[in-house]
Amino acid sequence: MSLSELANLIYQQSQVVKIDYTNSNEAIFTRPWLIKYHSQLLNTSGWYWLSTTMSFNEFSSLVSNNKKKKKGCKISEVATKSKAIFSEDLLCKTHFYNGHADKLVSRLRNHFYLQNDSTGALGLNAYDVFKGQEVKVYYFAANMIEDTNLTIEQKALVKQLISFNIGRTAIENAWRSDNGFPILCKH
């Protein structure tokens, strides 16, 4: 089995979280929110993918209302650069970001609510336009492996890869190779 095939199998086993900004969005990815809505999502290692219905051009025109945090993604700059480097044929049309993390919930929360300058993250809450969009988070966490329909050998391989940064990076990049480069990814 190739890395690309395994990456796509992992993605097919992912769960989805639909982000609803109409409720108290500050609670998203906090322990009470997770317990109430997404108890399977634990702060363990895994992969994630973010999607919305926004076009490449809409990403290129976004302006942040966050003047406090230095590390928040300047979405319009990253999107414009990605469009210049990759033709639209090479950009991912279904997801604007994908990544991996040793602590999945913490990383996802940072992508929505950048709380410090110690990490680079999207900081989506700094962009009012996302509050009117359907944003979906697809995730695959280490605790989900046993509940998949993967073979015993595939499960063992996924456990090995998910445990190490280099393994998670390999799957992240293999998925991009098959599906296109997400417009807001920097590397």
Is residue 15 within 8 A of residue 138, CB to CB? The reply is yes
CA–CA distances in Å: residue 77 to residues 53, 110, 167, 185: 19, 19, 29, 11
The residue behind tokens 């807001």 is 184
Single-letter residue type at 72 = G
Check whether 25 has a pLDDT greater than 60: no
Of all residues in the chain, the percent with pLDDT exceeding 90 is 53
pLDDT of residue 187: 85
Is residue 137 within 8 A of residue 127, CB to CB? The reply is no
Q: Which residues contact 89 (CB under 8 A, 6 or more apart)?
A: 180
pLDDT (average), residues 89-101: 96
pLDDT (average), residues 2-28: 83
Rounded to two decimals, the pTM is 0.90
> 105-161, pLDDT tens digit by residue?
988 888 887 765 656 688 887 777 777 778 899 999 999 999 999 999 999 999 999
Following CA atoms 113, 136, 61, 25 in sequence, which dihedral angle do they give, to the nearest 10 degrees?
-40
Alpha-carbon span 145 to 135, nearest angstrom = 25
Check whether 99 has a pLDDT greater than 50: yes
pLDDT of residue 24: 47
The residue behind tokens 């492996």 is 145
3-state helix/strand/coil string of the chain: CCHHHHHHHHHHCCEEEEECCCCCHHHCCCHHHHHHHCCCCCCCCEEEEEECCCCHHHHHCCCCCCCCCCCECCHHHHHHHHHHHCCCCCECCCCCEEEEECCHHHHHHHHHCCCCCCCCECCHHHCHHHHHCCEEEEEEEHHHHHHCCCCHHHHHHHHHHHCCHHHHHHHHHHHHHHHCECCCCCC
How big is the chain, counted in residues?
Answer: 187
